[in-house]
Structure 1
Amino acid sequence: MNRPLVATYRLQFREGTDFAAASELAPYLKKLGVSHFYASPIFAASPGSTHGYDVVDYNRFEADLGGDPGFTAMSDALTREDLGLILDFVPNHMGVSPENGWWEDVLAWGRESRHATTFDIAWDAEKILVPVLGKPYGEALADGDLKVVVEPERARFRFDAGGYQLPIDPRSLGHVFGFLEHEERDRLNRRFAVATPVDGDELTERLREHLGDAGFQSALTHAVEAINGDRTALHGLHEAQNWRLAWWRTAREKLTYRRFFEIADLIGVRQEIRHVFRDSHRTVIRLAKERRLDGIRIDHVDGLADPKNYLLDLRQAFQSARRDPLIYVEKILTGEERLRTSWDIQGTTGYEFITALSGLYVDATKEEAMAEAYADFLGEVEDLRGMIKRQKRSIFARNLAGELAYLTGEALDVAARGLSTRDLGPDTIQRSIVEVAASLPVYRTYVGVDGVPTKDVAIIDAAVAEAKSGREVEADEPIEFIGRLLKLDFEEAADVAGALNFTRRFQQTTGAVMAKAVEDTVFYRYNRLIALNEVGGEPDHYGAELAAFHEAMRIRVEDQPEGLLATSTHDTKRGEDARARLYTLSEAPERWETIVAKGTETLGAFRHQIEPLLVSPDPATEWGFYQSLLGVLPADFDPKDRKTLAEIETRLLAFVEKAVREAKRYTSWTSPAEDYESALKGFVSAALDPANGFLETFWQEVQPFVAAGALNSLSQVIVKMAAPGVPDIYQGTEFYDLSLVDPDNRRPIDFSARVKAMDEAMSMPEAFRHWRDGRIKAKVTAASLKARQREPELFTRGDYLPLAVEGPLADHVIAFARLREEAAAIAVAPRMSLKLLADCGTIMPGEGCWGDTAIRLTGPLIGRDWEDVLDKGMLALDDRLRLGDLPGKLPFAFLLAS
């Protein structure tokens, strides 16, 4: 539990990766140099889950991964290599599945269930809506899709809806027993009719005894057949349940429980209730007590009713077990937003670091040229901020209509008690809620029983002002009323309670509105430079001054020195090296425009008219496709390699389908447009067919971007390894990561190649000259981690010192130092690599290109001996470090003095 924080290594379980595979990987991770193994969710999840975020049991390890024995063996393997374990934990929601015992109990017993308060259910609704039918309920009943089944081996009755099964309330089984021709019929009727939840096990035992009698079992089989053949009786049984089956399309507007985003198969968990918290965290607390857990990553912390107090409860629960593991949260910080230091955690998972990095490598001076090229290709100028606001309105009003209806009801209850608000109607209130949510610049605010933080007052007031200025609601008063609710601005206890209820649910919903509207819609529509369309990113923040990056790092030292530094995750829209390559387009928009123009001409025959005003691919999708193609092609790609081509085609076809469905412009997941999608896929396949003459020419013309992208990739590694925080390495990204969005970024990893790279005796300059194979990235990563192992505190809590660069190529360099007591480090990395390589004519600019460009050293950095971390050796420095003198003539450096 006291392991120094060096770096984490994230591994995705499932899809062929289990505890045994992770155990075998432990020696490699130790050799690579990380300190902590960071595991994706490993608790029991819904059958067939590919990710584990649909957990069904917080206290049971997934059997398919190896169960309890497999976990223990993995834990022991990590301990032998002195690696800590960080678990990805999902407190906000659970999977709605027959494997979820808590959910099953709620469905069977309704509000009398011992778990009735576990889930965020609207118990004032008549029934728990279960929207799983492929057609309206009446049609499903008439078509024979519904039936009762008996599971003799488990001694229970189930209501089957086309393969989806639900528990039957034991008190309603009289509907079945009424068809039973057996002497036990009346006794069973009476016994089950008066049952309570505590009788559950006894009822199961008695039913199992009866089923052991062949005569009873035969009679019950006939009874079940009879009720299944009687649609009226079957409907009567259905109506006697605590749940109601419904058409899946009903979920968005009538769902009676809080979902995760718009996914009906994930139900919100009420962690604010003490017994729920205790029951769901029992195993992770035990693991910490047993020294098998060193840290925990909290998924979707913004979905919780009260994140601050949840994290306080978590910290206290660990401390009660005399342990103090690391706590990280999946929290997306936008704009000027900073992590709430009152949460007392190590930090976020690091999406804000990706945003800061993008500012380093995107050329802000060329934004206008790229905007013009994009607008010319589209034939229109897109308004990103307007697009975002429209999509937030649409997502809230349509996809999350059920949540909006709930909030409207809560607001109306408070409004009805006020003389100045009693005349506000449901439509006005609803539109006001939508406008305030659409105007919110952050994922959520954090108002709760502890009060209204000053930061949130300012955010709410600004959102209210913007909502009023939009004039989507005719009067200011209803919008101001929503602002009062969010600030708990009431005197009467009933009104304050109502405002708290409204605000809790509003805050849990706005994160979903933001994520679905921006990350899962607009980021697939607005394709000017898709490298900026990243989780937590803002595509109209196009590059930044070096000072902005230095300020972001200063804030990291202040707010979260032990926060994670992410560059790729399971949720990023594309791999870190695909982004690094695509950043270079910003340096030459005119050249990119020319390449795209040639492509559109060559592939013109494969673009199809779908309807009068729609072609496939549409312009925005086609512009984005060329970028995606550039981002996914391996650096050592050979256009004549049919096997690699086939793999890339398969990946891109899956990606474009997801992209256009997420964009929800001409097709969607719920209503696929077959003609549009078929034409789009045909276009993609044609682009990758060597016979059509596009791909080979495209690959030749983008080579400058590929080389500059590789230099950006290595620069990004240096910056990440020396920046304040803890580098998080996503599985396999020691080599180039040119992944597309999930599920592409969960493909199996060839770890044998990575193990081999660790053992190869090759100098850093030699590896750099073979940059296309990716080994150079692995070598830089491993060497940098060794430096962090020696001085872990230097790289987390050490001071961050920007270093001035002078000379003709100063704009192509970022340099900074880290200082803590006697230890110090210097990081030097290139930027704006496309122009740098164009001017130098080689990917080795250290060989005579830098001229008199130098880094100015100050104070405690002067007159010390420095170790070259990357390729060993020592050098002594005065007050200047010339770029031409960097070790190995490399265009980057990592130096350490202690």
Structure 2
Amino acid sequence: MSTSLNDAVGAPAAIPVPRATYRLQFHKEFTFRDAARIAPYLGRLGISHVYASPFLKARPDSTHGYDITDHHALNPELGTEDDFRAMVSAFHEAGLGQILDFVPNHMGVGGADNPLWLDVLEWGPDSAHAGWFDIDWDPDRRYLLNKLLVPFLGDQYGVELQAGNLELRFDDNEGAFAVWAYGSHKLPISPLHYDRILGRETAGLDRLSDLFVDLPLWRPNVVERTVELKAQLAALIRDDAESRVALRAELDGFNADWRRLDALIQDQHWRVAFYGVAGDDINYRRFFNINDLAGIRMELPAVFRHAHAMIGPMIADGTLDGIRLDHVDGLLDPAGYFKALRGVSDRPFYLVIEKILAPHEQLREDWPVEGTTGYDFTNLATGALVDPAAEQAFDDFYRSFSGLHTPFEHIVRACKIRIMENEMASELNVLGRDAGRLARQNPVTADFTRHVLERAIKQIVASFPVYRTYIDMEGAQTEADRRDLDWAMAQARRADSSIDPSVFDFLQKTLSGNLVAEPRSGFSRTAVLRFAMKLQQYSGPVMAKGLEDTAFYRYNRFVALNEVGGEPDRFGVSAATFHRANGLRARHWPHAMLGTSTHDTKRGEDTRARLAVLADIPDEWQRQVTTWSRLLRARRGDVEGNAPPDRNDEYLLYQLLVGSWPVELLEEPDEAGLQAYGERIKGALEKSMREAKLHSTWTSPDTAYEDAMQGFARDALSSGRNSFLAAFLPFAGKVARLGVRNSLAQAVMKLTVPGMPDIYQGCEMWDLSLVDPDNRRPVDYAVREAALAALEGELADPGGRGAKLRELLEHWQDGRIKLAVTTLLLQLRREMPALFEGGGYEPLPVEGEQSDAALAWVREADGQRLVTLVSRFPGRETVGDSPAGSHVALPPGRWLNWLTGTEIDGGDVAVGTALEGLPVAVFRKA
């Protein structure tokens, strides 16, 4: 972070920057106690901080913790308060701090677990929390006036109502009524209608019916009065058998007569509906298009205070040393939130944000954060392992094999428009309505209809080259925002030239804030800027859903590049680009997180490293795919090759198999192993087909097509006499062996370039995972602890490290080579903190034949110097497994290879000599 930024926000210099973090995914099968048990292992590995997934109270059975239902409680599925404190103590005893993944944008709703949401359902616009969620109480859909759409039904409302899946119930403890959908979604009845349920059959019920009818006269203390009456009702039903029987009869009457129940439901502050209705009629902001994750208005001081009531004290008392913020682009005012967050504690803390940057985009330097969570580095590292020379070969073969010729940028645009016309159509409709209301504030624009404005907005959002811009209520626009908005406007005008140019002129002035730049514009300044900020909240999810969750599953040219924050149409990264990115990070964001695997990555880090090998051997890859396709289609009687699945999905399958094939199945795959792996492939294919939204979708699965695709995969993985496996395994084994070298290069990059490295759970050994939930499988820590215990002794003598590492590389299958390199470099980071926290970065030249097959750089701080050398493109014809004929210019002096214990003199050194049979080398001054 720049000095000027620290001065601007008053951030102390002593922010506790982690040496390295280790991400843990908490859920009911991995609890606080489980984390405490592995704390000594993580400390010995060399980690400084546990990077915890969200652990505040979430919906039951949450596998990720992002569906928080109560910011004031720990998740009981993870353990008790005592368990949590014991875990924190175990961390501290092992020398570990803690970073928390926190979600400020949304909460989990639905079910029966979020008291804020239930309060809104019960009282509607009169709820004390009605403004906490981003709810449109005055939508154009007049049937939703002062109502909240609850789209959680699996079928149409009338079908579920008549089937008895909506049931009126009484809570004996609370003295409250609610309709329950499927026995899991609680929909509170407004107390203003309790008299319709209670009846007058007993004196007690008659009296309470009158009191509930009298509630409106208690304004503004209706809620407090209701609490008293509910307690009286609960006591009456508990103590009076006659009233209990009478109430049971009333409830049975409602549940036996769907028309009577429907009449009661129609008068509530909610409208329960089929989940598919949300795309058109949703009137609350969601996380993307997920109905049970509702956006909260973190810009409101009351919401901010509520959400951070536990987090602030945890930072102050040292329980937490930092925060990782999820999905910051969903916030109305991200910069304002970051500045407010810095004030939750006087104690400095580390802060990074999940922010996807476009290729030309830079993180805002006036944001008081340490950097991003590392998706930019994920793709930089993968790109550095991909040989750009193979692009034409991959292009030609993909087009010929799949029959697809559409440029990636056109696919992205089409996918974004599809999202806006379907899953997120309701939000677009609201923006069109609000733009129309703005236009009518001035006679000059009063004739801009909602329909034409909505069309124009759709084209603008589809054209955005970034996830969003960041204009705020001050109305100031940065040069970066102006550039991106100008680009989007120009593209949108060309995309739909039938729209009058003045409409785009109006929207450009609105989104830039220029519409109200001068007094007496005729427009409400607040309304204009709020509209611009709301559109910014919309463009990010559209980009994410259109690009990452749709286009990435349609464009299968080379799926190693189809990663969160990635650019599938950029084939490889040059040495110059790699060095430039690291240099910029060293100067501007030296403490940014560096990730290679996360809970959200589409493929595991070693899966991508394997796939990168294919760019080294494009001709062989093409021959193999052609053979595999012929064998599998012939087996299915598809001689012409026209039967489903289509060639694009088939091509994806081969890449998934090569990238993720389990090490233990490379030699002699057994039936049980193939079946277990087949289930993983089945899940990945199902998600790929449905996310692509071409042949199938989540809402309307095409079972015939999906069965054809899954049958194709089953044929590939069948045990016994299988001609496909006979052809596939030798090639998969070769790629796996070469991929190890890429994996080690990737790990060394992450651990030595500027930034703070994060290790995703289990990834200190091989991570051949597929898309979630495959990448959240249980980690076998017993294996890792045993391996580290053995390595600690074997690597203790620097003089014997080289031989040991070469032995481990020879027997790479067990993953100990990656563990050894990781722990050695984490130890080095402990010994040279100043260099890794703030050292500079300079590329070192590699020259000679195949000089592009190696990367080298030097880092320096406080008189300490470190040189890193990694080889790449291992599938090329090389000499001694290192780039033939190339040499690196080591700075003058005597250098110690930290990994092997060998000393070497500076000057021009042959790359093969420097690497000593390994794909990586790290030198410090001897």
- TM-score, normalised relative to structure 2: 0.92
Task: Find 1:831's aligned residue among 853, 872, 884.
Answer: 872
Distance 2:626 2:78 in 1: 49
Q: Secondary structure at the match of 1:399?
A: coil
Matched, 1:210 2:236: yes
Matched, 1:410 2:429: no
Aligned to 2:93: 80
Matches within 5 A, 1:116-515: 116-125=130-139, 126=145, 127-163=147-183, 164-178=185-199, 180-195=200-215, 196-213=222-239, 214-318=241-345, 322-450=346-474, 451-471=476-496, 473-491=498-516, 492=521, 494-515=523-544
Matched, 1:845 2:866: no
Aligned to 1:814: 855
Aligned to 1:881: 909
Contact 1:4-1:792 within 8 A present in 2 as well: no
Deviations for 1:467-516, whole angstroms, at most 9, x for unmatched residues? 11223543222222221111112233743222222112111111110111
Distance 2:580 2:546 in 1: 29
Task: Find 1:25's aligned residue among 38, 42, 67.
Answer: 38
Contact 1:550-1:802 within 8 A present in 2 as well: yes
Q: Secondary structure at the match of 1:343?
A: coil
Aligned to 1:854: 887
Q: Secondary structure at the match of 2:169?
A: strand
Aligned to 1:738: 768
Q: CA deviation at 1:229?
A: 2.8
Distance 1:5 1:731 in 2: 17
Output the amino acid matched with 2:766: Y
Q: CA deviation at 1:692?
A: 2.5
Task: Find 2:785's aligned residue among 755, 775, 781.
Answer: 755
Q: CA deviation at 1:809?
A: 3.4
Q: CA deviation at 1:599?
A: 0.5
Aligned to 1:627: 655
Q: CA deviation at 1:397?
A: 1.7
Q: CA deviation at 1:431?
A: 0.9
Aligned to 1:113: 127
Aligned to 2:73: 60
The percentage of counterpart residues that share the same residue type is 39
Q: CA deviation at 1:881?
A: 3.2
Distance 2:821 2:348 in 1: 32
Distance 1:705 1:396 in 2: 40
Contact 1:37-1:86 within 8 A present in 2 as well: yes
Task: Find 1:782's aligned residue among 820, 823, 840.
Answer: 823
Deviations for 1:58-91, whole angstroms, at most 9, x for unmatched residues? 1111111003222111111111112110011111
Distance 1:591 1:449 in 2: 57
Matched, 1:890 2:921: no
Q: CA deviation at 1:414?
A: 1.0
Task: Find 1:791's aligned residue among 825, 828, 832.
Answer: 832
Distance 2:740 2:159 in 1: 57
Contact 1:38-1:87 within 8 A present in 2 as well: yes
Output the amino acid matched with 1:112: D
Q: Indicate how the Cα distance of structure 1 residues 165 and 878 shifts in structure 2: closer, same or farther if over 3 A, else same.
A: closer
Unaligned runs of at least 5 residues, structure 1: none
Unaligned runs of at least 5 residues, structure 2: 1-13, 140-144, 216-221, 795-803
Contact 1:534-1:572 within 8 A present in 2 as well: yes
Q: CA deviation at 1:876?
A: 4.5
Point out the more displaced range, 111-120 or 564-573. Answer: 111-120
Q: CA deviation at 1:148?
A: 0.9
Q: Secondary structure at the match of 1:342?
A: coil
Q: CA deviation at 1:696?
A: 2.7
Output the amino acid matched with 2:850: L
Aligned to 2:549: 520
Deviations for 1:579-628, whole angstroms, at most 9, x for unmatched residues? 01111111222211110111111101455889x99732111000010000
Q: Secondary structure at the match of 1:413?
A: helix
Q: Indicate how the Cα distance of structure 1 residues 807 and 41 shifts in structure 2: closer, same or farther if over 3 A, else same.
A: same
Output the amino acid matched with 1:524: Y
Q: CA deviation at 1:885?
A: 2.8
Q: Indicate how the Cα distance of structure 1 residues 614 and 273 shifts in structure 2: closer, same or farther if over 3 A, else same.
A: farther
Aligned to 2:687: 658
Aligned to 1:615: 643
Deviations for 1:385-408, whole angstroms, at most 9, x for unmatched residues? 111101111101211011001101
Q: Indicate how the Cα distance of structure 1 residues 4 and 896 shifts in structure 2: closer, same or farther if over 3 A, else same.
A: farther
Output the amino acid matched with 2:632: L
Deviations for 1:376-430, whole angstroms, at most 9, x for unmatched residues? 1012312211111011111012110110011011100111123332211222111
Distance 2:151 2:223 in 1: 25
Runs of 4+ in 1 over 6 A off after TM superposition: none
Contact 2:15-2:348 within 8 A present in 1 as well: no
Contact 1:570-1:745 within 8 A present in 2 as well: yes
Q: Indicate how the Cα distance of structure 1 residues 608 and 527 shifts in structure 2: closer, same or farther if over 3 A, else same.
A: farther
Aligned to 2:6: none
Q: CA deviation at 1:2?
A: 6.7
Output the amino acid matched with 1:203: L
Distance 1:614 1:66 in 2: 54
Contact 1:639-1:695 within 8 A present in 2 as well: no
Distance 2:487 2:90 in 1: 52
Contact 2:587-2:840 within 8 A present in 1 as well: no
Distance 1:428 1:4 in 2: 50
Q: Secondary structure at the match of 2:138?
A: coil
Matched, 1:553 2:579: no
Task: Find 2:710's aligned residue among 673, 677, 681.
Answer: 681
Distance 1:613 1:394 in 2: 29
Aligned Cα root-mean-square deviation (Å): 1.9
Q: CA deviation at 1:880?
A: 2.7
Deviations for 1:223-277, whole angstroms, at most 9, x for unmatched residues? 1112223334322211221111112211111011001100111100000000100
Q: Secondary structure at the match of 2:422?
A: helix
Deviations for 1:539-589, whole angstroms, at most 9, x for unmatched residues? 111112210011111111122110110100000000001101111111222
Q: CA deviation at 1:458?
A: 1.2
Contact 2:590-2:754 within 8 A present in 1 as well: yes
Q: CA deviation at 1:702?
A: 3.4
Output the amino acid matched with 1:23: A
Deviations for 1:83-138, whole angstroms, at most 9, x for unmatched residues? 11001111100011310011111111111111111111112241101112233223
Distance 2:641 2:527 in 1: 49
Point out the more displaced range, 78-87 or 182-191. Answer: 182-191
Distance 1:609 1:237 in 2: 58
How many aligned positions are there? 880
- TM-score, normalised relative to structure 1: 0.95
Q: Secondary structure at the match of 2:841?
A: strand
